[in-house]
């Protein structure tokens, strides 16, 4: 009786843990349905928001200042499209046409931040009259890359260094007010260290834990265990040393298991040190899949319910899937995207140059 009991304990305690030997799906294909197509669009910021228990929407921001919503079937009646409700508004303010690369959703509110100076944070609403600017950074070097929220009241945006440290904005009042952290509260940036506004996935959050991926000549992890009140730095072995190298995207499955991807977009086939994994909350990282495709990718996401083993990476050279924590990869499509978000373990929305698409992954 002892051996069966030991097997039972093992199965409960270990066999379903991320990184353990478990049976995962084997996705073999992806079908792509383009929902929004416009050659003038450049979309790197998307999120999926839950509207009701049964309905959801994909929201996105564009490089030419538009805010779009793709509603599920229950909300289609107000629109002409027979399958999707698509609504877009122009956020141009006076003479400024905002260029968005980052978007965050917090319960009933959406927030977008623009690149360049002045950097503007918009509080978003499908009703154009309700959109408003809630923060403005006039620093001549202002350039923000990503946004995320811990909960309905607390969130952050991160950007390139301005005064010797990464730019980090914090809100504690549901986005009504934002405060820029002083450099004496943050790790000092190293010369050539910045971040990439490639997919709005430079930030990963699990509970109160936050990981920020920097890139460029130096590519490190800034970590906070207390929602941005204090910060520390972890080194990574990802390719770095040039302005175009480093981590472009990071995701965590739980507070221990994480993955980062990037490389060098000017040398997209280089695959020697562009994929790294951690199993200790980001303290240490290991190169995985060295010398194996994919090369440069701009976004990495864990597949929901994939036990920390299933990952999807996208970039302008296509879509790739791993079922073993990133050691081996399967190329699913040559169609390029900048960023992706999962609705569930089989459906995702992806965006890129001139399009927003719905993706269906199949075994």
Place of tokens 């923000």: 144
Tell which residue, 57, 151, 24, 155, has the closest CA to residue 356.
57
Sign, CA dihedral 207-309-213-41, equals negative
Query: Each residue's pLDDT tens digit in the chain (363 positions)?
Result: 444 444 343 443 444 456 556 777 999 999 999 999 998 889 999 999 887 777 788 999 999 999 998 886 544 333 344 455 677 777 877 677 899 999 998 877 899 999 999 999 999 976 767 889 999 999 999 999 999 999 999 999 999 999 999 999 999 999 999 999 999 999 999 999 999 999 999 999 999 999 999 999 999 999 999 999 999 999 999 999 999 999 999 999 999 999 999 999 999 999 999 999 999 999 999 999 999 999 999 999 999 999 999 999 999 999 999 999 999 999 999 999 999 999 999 999 999 999 999 999 999
Q: Which residues contact 126 (CB under 8 A, 6 or more apart)?
A: 67, 69, 87, 89
Q: Which residues contact 288 (CB under 8 A, 6 or more apart)?
A: 275, 276, 277, 325, 326, 327
Model pTM?
0.91
φ, ψ of residue 84 to 5 degrees: the values are -125, 140
Tell which residue, 239, 288, 290, 287, has the closest CA to residue 264.
239
Rg (CA), the chain: 20
Taken as a whole, the chain contains a residue count of 363
Tell which residue, 344, 211, 234, has the closest CA to residue 283.
234
Domains of the chain: 24-362 (2.130.10.10)
Tell which residue, 241, 198, 204, has the closest CA to residue 45.
198
**For residue 155, what are its two tokens?**
């969130």
């Amino acid at each position: 009786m002892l051996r069966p009991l030991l097997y039972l304990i093992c199965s409960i305690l270990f066999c379903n843990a991320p990184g353990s030997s478990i049976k995962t799906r084997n996705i073999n294909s992806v079908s792509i349905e383009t929902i929004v197509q416009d050659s003038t669009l450049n979309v790197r910021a998307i999120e999926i928001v839950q509207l009701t228990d049964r309905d959801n929407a994909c929201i996105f921001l564009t490089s030419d200042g538009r805010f779009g919503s793709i509603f599920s079937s229950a909300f289609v009646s107000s629109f002409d499209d027979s399958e999707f409700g698509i609504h877009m508004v122009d956020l141009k303010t006076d003479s400024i046409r905002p260029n968005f690369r980052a978007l965050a959703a917090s319960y009933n509110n959406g927030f977008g931040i623009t690149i360049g100076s002045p950097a503007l944070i918009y509080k978003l609403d499908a009703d154009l009259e309700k959109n408003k600017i809630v923060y403005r950074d006039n620093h001549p070097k202002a350039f923000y890359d990503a946004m995320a929220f811990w909960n309905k009241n607390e969130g952050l945006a991160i950007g390139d260094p301005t005064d010797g440290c990464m730019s980090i904005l914090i809100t504690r009042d549901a986005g009504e007010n934002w405060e820029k952290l002083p450099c004496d509260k943050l790790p000092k940036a190293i010369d050539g260290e910045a971040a990439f506004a490639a997919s709005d996935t430079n930030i990963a959050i699990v509970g109160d834990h936050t990981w920020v991926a920097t890139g460029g000549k130096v590519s490190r992890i800034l970590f906070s265990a207390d929602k941005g009140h204090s910060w520390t730095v972890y080194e990574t072995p990802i390719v770095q040393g040039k302005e175009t190298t480093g981590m472009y995207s990071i995701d965590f499955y739980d507070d221990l298991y994480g993955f980062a991807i990037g490389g060098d977009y000017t040398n997209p086939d280089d695959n020697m040190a562009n994929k790294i994994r951690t199993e200790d909350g980001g303290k240490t990282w290991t190169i995985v899949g060295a010398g194996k495709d994919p090369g440069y990718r701009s976004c990495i996401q864990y597949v929901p319910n994939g036990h920390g083993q299933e990952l999807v990476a996208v970039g302008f050279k296509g879509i790739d899937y791993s079922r073993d924590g990133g050691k081996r990869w399967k190329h699913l499509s040559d169609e390029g995207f900048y960023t992706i978000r999962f609705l569930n373990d089989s459906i995702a929305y992806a965006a890129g140059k001139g399009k927003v698409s719905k993706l269906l992954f199949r075994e």
